[in-house]
Chain A
Amino acid sequence: MKRIIVVSLFALIVLALVPQIHFAHAQSSQGQSEKQYINLRAEVWNEFFRMTTAAFTVGAVVSGTMIWLVWRFRESHPKNKIPTRWEKLDDPTTGTYEKEGGH
């Protein structure tokens, strides 16, 4: 799990740095020639595609987490065989995580 988190964070950092490197490169090459202007159309479309990628990634992470939660905490999951402490109590609010079974 830690490896997945580290890889995810690394990928995000790379994702954030790539356009900045591109921007810095464009800025430095602009200094070499006065007649080089940015292509507004290309910049706007590039931004649109990057934002679309970000939006779909957020969607995948959120829906993926929810799907995993539903799958993992379903009643028929092998790890949920042993009832939790709350399920045995008359008052479920008195249970604690430390004494919970099946996890």
Chain B
Amino acid sequence: MGHDTAEWVMVGVVIAILLYVGVDSWVVQKEVEDVPADAETIKVTGQQWFWSFEHQDGTKEISTLHVKKGHAYNFEIYGKDVMHSFNIPDYVVFEDVVPGHVNHAWFAPDQAGEFPIQCREYCGLLHYNMRGSLVVEDTP
């Protein structure tokens, strides 16, 4: 064993692990951000201090969003006044709402039930009350 073998092993192993970290993160990010082709688009608008939703067929809802279990949904997220953040904790949907900019997030609910929607960016006096409900219906 040469005097520098240990150093080279350390350098090689660390480079290999960092390469693995980079490649794996890239693959997972690509996988997570890849919106399914059959996802239904829902327009989400955040404003002080409530959420409104518009389905692809024109149906509008305020504060409560109804979706179907096993379907994919692509959120187009709009802001009307100040910064908000659209968050459905149970389905890892978490996207900033920026006035003048459209953000995107997608999800596919796999469990029926009622889940909280909340604003996760302090947006004024009633920020704490800027909540909504996600109702996932178990339809065939």
Residues from chain B with Cβ under 8 Å of A41 in the complex = 91-92
CB-based contact A65/B6 at 8 Å? yes
CB-based contact A19/B7 at 8 Å? no
The segment out of B13-21, B96-104, B114-122 that lies at the interface is: B13-21
Knowing A12-B13, A41-B91 are in contact, say whether A69-B72 is a contact too (CB < 8 A). no
Q: Determine the interface band of chain B, counting residues with CB < 8 A from chain A.
A: 20 to 34
Alpha-carbon distance A16/B12, docked complex (angstroms) = 15
Binary flags per residue of A4-40, CB closer than 8 Å to B gives 1, else 0: 1100110010011001100100000000001101111
Let me know if B110 is at the binding interface, CB within 8 A.
Answer: yes
Residues from chain B with Cβ under 8 Å of A82 in the complex = none
What distance in Å separates the Cβ of B63 from its nearest Cβ neighbour in chain A? 23
Residue from the list A19, A51, A69, A103 in contact with B27, Cβ < 8 A:
A19
Knowing A8-B9, A34-B38 are in contact, say whether A58-B23 is a contact too (CB < 8 A). no
Which label, helix, strand, loop or mixed, suits the secondary structure of the A interface?
helix
For window 79-111 of B, CB contacts with A under 8 Å fall at: 91-92, 107-108, 110
Alpha-carbon distance A92/B85, docked complex (angstroms) = 64
CB-based contact B25/A47 at 8 Å? yes
Residues from chain B with Cβ under 8 Å of A35 in the complex = 70
User: 11 A-B contacts, Cβ less than 8 Å apart?
Assistant: A8-B13, A9-B16, A38-B31, A38-B108, A40-B92, A43-B32, A44-B28, A47-B24, A51-B21, A51-B25, A69-B6
| 19 more A-B residue pairs beyond the given contacts A16-B23, A50-B24, A65-B9, with a C-beta to C-beta distance below 8 A | A4-B9, A8-B9, A15-B20, A19-B24, A23-B27, A37-B72, A37-B108, A38-B31, A39-B110, A44-B28, A44-B32, A51-B21, A54-B17, A54-B20, A58-B17, A58-B18, A62-B10, A65-B6, A68-B6
